[in-house]
Amino acid sequence: MLAVVAALDQATKALALASLAPGQPESVFFGLDLSVSRNTGIAFGALAGAGDAVIVALVAIAVGVLLVFFAARADRPLLWLPIGMVLGGAAGNLIDRGRIGAVVDFIDPSFWPAFNLADMSIVLGVLGVLYVAEGRKEEPEATRGTGEEGASAAPSSPRPGAGRPRAGGESAHCHDSS
């Protein structure tokens, strides 16, 4: 996932740089423009004046936290997908920073700072990590109902028709006493 996100991010940035004139936004639809800008900060322009060392340190810390978080929840293999999205987004933006000294942003909504595919991948990846990490742990099919609890536990729902009135007004639990 990391390589896919980083490659798509770099491809979309190259397309934006080749087809959009700097400082001349192209309106896509109401409130959303495509406009090339260079961001020296992190996602959505935050920490624009912080310097490369601070930004690289923050990215390294974030990656470390994600890896520790994953290791603590190794029972959830789907975490690799959103973690790959976060790392791929970080890699895409770090490639820009190393190549041109700033990150290329080109998606420019009127209500939010400009961003790019890498930024979207990071945000969606973090949300995915939270969702997968807190989601219900699936029990493998082969082990369902084979433990002591599963073998002795009563069914969670009554048998079909139990408790429903029968013809003549009798309950399913009533027996004819005659």
Residues noted as catalytic: 105, 119
Q: Please, what is the Cα angle at 66 between 63 and 67, to 5 degrees?
A: 85
Alpha helices in 20-158 (DSSP H): 52-72, 80-100, 117-134, 148-152
3-state SS, residue 159:
coil
Say how far apart CA 148 and CA 14 lie, in whole Å.
59
Sign of CA dihedral 50, 52, 55, 57: negative
**What whole-number distance in Å separates Cα of residue 56 and Cα of residue 41?**
11
